[in-house]
Structure 1
């Protein structure tokens, strides 16, 4: 049985989506960020980065949200959550996964925690504002890509889609949130009907009302 160390609406959400969609046995283990449990000796022994999530798969320990998602997809190939080796969609899959995690997620982390990126408290709000503008431009790129498309890669749902849905949730309070884009909004509202996303959002206490 898989064990996912998680915290609601954290980076563990994408792996949580994937686990639910795979319909495999798994256990959720709450890491209480409010009490800084991710920095405890016990947790650091599993994940020295002190960040959430961490996945236990037998004797294997995997951290980093994207790495967990890819491991789960490759370990359960019948779900087709990652294109096969040799598939024309596989390079595009990794292109968009890298863009989502190395670019959008990284920039979102600066936006959400601007105080960690300066020693000058006077510029914290400006950092957050600038980042929001940069990330909005990134969502515009995705909006263009999703013209007449139901999924980011290929014709079926993949890890990319679960990951992007998580990032969109994090940006839902932007002046121009993902739901304000025509193609991206249609795409997200379609994904919000997926039973795994519905189940996870219920467990993590996130309303999908805006996606209906």
Structure 2
């Protein structure tokens, strides 16, 4: 039985990996590209992705909420952390990446002037410095095990590559992205 349907944008780091998350966790999630689905605006009037509808009709939006729901509906809730502190740090990193980091990349994309691009690039580099420094103390964002925040981070860094934002001078990030990319979720079918 299908756990639900996820409407997503294939170019959007907040939603393009969530079907693979569900499948990795043993939940059958059908992925649909939102722009290809005439029913999407009626089901989700804000027309934002990710947008999830469960097999019993439960609707949910927002990347963090959808990831939380998927993980906690699976038999592997520890993918968000084993202890309360790990869970809190997992969701803190996830929130930081989806708000601060994704927004700063959006600022470059929507910049109308060169000054706006330079300012947005400065913010991205400050955030990359923060992440790189944080990774000097552990292999992954929350410790020595890959959690869902790391999987989302990999999606985010792929988005940076898509926008030609170079992070190769951040050694800890480079090592981190390479290690996270080896996780089995990236060999799990996406849709």
TM-score by length of 2: 0.84
TM-score by length of 1: 0.76
- Does 2:123 align with 1:134? yes
Any conservation in 2 of the 1:136–1:177 contact (CA below 8 Å)? no
Aligned pairs for 1:1-212 (under 5 A) are 1=2, 2-10=4-12, 11-32=14-35, 42-58=39-55, 59-84=57-82, 87-114=84-111, 121=112, 123=113, 125-147=114-136, 149-172=138-161, 177-199=166-188
SS at match of 1:28: strand
Cα-to-partner distance string for 1:158-197 (whole Å, 9 max, x where unaligned): 1101111111111126676234311111110011112222
Q: How many Å apart are 1:97 and its aligned residue?
A: 2.0
Cα-to-partner distance string for 1:95-114 (whole Å, 9 max, x where unaligned): 21221122112222222233
Any conservation in 2 of the 1:143–1:182 contact (CA below 8 Å)? yes
Structure 1 residue ranges, 4+ long, deviating more than 6 angstroms after superposition: none
Alpha-carbon RMSD across the aligned residues, in angstroms, is 2.5
Greater RCO (CA < 8 Å, at least 6 residues apart): 2
Q: Which runs of 5+ in 2 are unaligned?
A: none
Cα-to-partner distance string for 1:44-80 (whole Å, 9 max, x where unaligned): 2222221222111122111112211111112125251
Q: Which runs of 5+ in 1 are unaligned?
A: 115-120, 205-212
SS at match of 2:65: helix
